[in-house]
Amino acid sequence: MTETPAHTTLWPAPHASGAIDTTVHVPGSKSVTNRALVLAALAAEPGWIRRPLRSRDTLLMAGALRALGVGIEEGVGPDGSGEAWRVIPAGLAGPATVDVGNAGTVMRFLPPVATLADGDIRFDGDPRSYERPLNGVIDALRALGARIDDESRGALPLTVHGGGALDGGTVEIDASSSSQFVSALLLSGARFNQGVEVRHTGERLPSMPHIRMTVEMLRAVGAQVDEPETGGEPNVWRVTPGALLGRDLVIEPDLSNAQPFLAAALVTGGRVVIPDWPERTTQPGDALREIFTEMGGSCELTEQGLVFTGSGLIHGIDIDLGEVGELTPGIAAVAALADSPSTLRGVAHLRLHETDRLAALTKEINELGGDVTETADGLHIRPRRLHGGIFHTYDDHRMATAGAVLGLAVEGVEIENVATTAKTLPDFPALWTGMLGA
């Protein structure tokens, strides 16, 4: 008997029979883990990464760095306090091939690293990765002295002809389609001969919290960074050349991946505790505390963690999500169940993510009976009574979790390819059914 391919398997989204009351331990942040891996690989001495996320994106990053010669040993930390990765920097060298999958952090953060390698480094990935913009990184690296062969596509596949070093200096880029263009150059900038000065010349820069995350993590490993938020020139970031230190970094829980569980409390009028929620963080997911409170919940940071409680009512919201665009699918799902319309703005760049998230959300919610329309930079959502049906994911992890949220309130929702959640949230189906006591 032939097994059904995972991508065509339908997962019956569990329907909530009542209010949830549970604690969910959310795995580590993908964004923090992958930045930590890059910085540790470029350091002058070994370092530790504690509580790393083990997911498709982070394992792709670790595999890519190993292909370049970096040692990454997986095991338990020196004090026996749980899983930790020991990262041992080495001379970067090719020839090597890097599989980026469909991970934006891998496809954008590693070409600058590859310029520091001796030899050719080829980058390839999933078919969707060929459609995602990479021109900001490619053009910037060429301007800084790199040799890159992309056959004028401005996208994958491509080959970086590493020369063992890069001059660096000042470069102008338009990062309006992805803040990762800026982060990619900053993360490797301290290793460039002249450091790097990145000037964003385009319109609005999305996902600023992720750039703040990059800057703070660079400073944590000893880099000198000048940026707009500490008195620097607007839209200009400078990293001074110098050695990076090997550190002992602890990875925070992924707050964006906490979203479906917080949404579950909101949708069911229940309560969920997320342990280890940081008091201060650069993660975009921290905005959920304010957003979901406005939509009808309440929250409190306690010694247990973040305690979030739904009121039994869900209110529509009019909000600019430009800085926290990755939260859009989950917010759209909750908004489709609200008692009034919602308008989600500032997220035109989501058309270039794992899939065109605006088109995908519109199509999938409407096929369940919803009333969603695309706008120039977002979505307008008018709540309607929904019905069951197949919710397609387009190989996008956040589409899958958004569908699961809808399934809590709508019987008969089936998620196509729920396995895509392994990109950043391993074992999501088990966590979800466990939350419901199933």
The answer to whether 291 and 248 are in contact (CB under 8 A) is: no
CA distance 33 to 72: 13
3-state secondary structure 425-437: CCCHHHHHHHHCC
Q: Name the one residue in this structure whose structure tokens are 């020991």.
A: 86
* CB neighbour list of residue 359: distance below 8 Å, 6 or more residues apart: 351, 374
The C-alpha angle with vertex 143 and arms to 140 and 146, in degrees rounded to 5, equals: 90
Active-site residue, 326 included: yes
Backbone angles phi, psi at 275, to 5 degrees: -65, 155
CA distance 167 to 153: 24
Question: Which one of the listed residues 197, 252, 326, 364 is annotated catalytic?
Answer: 326
Residue 375's alpha-carbon distances to 253, 320, 339, 344, 351, in angstroms, are 33, 13, 21, 9, 12
The answer to whether 111 and 160 are in contact (CB under 8 A) is: yes
What amino acid positions are annotated as catalytic residues?
A: 326
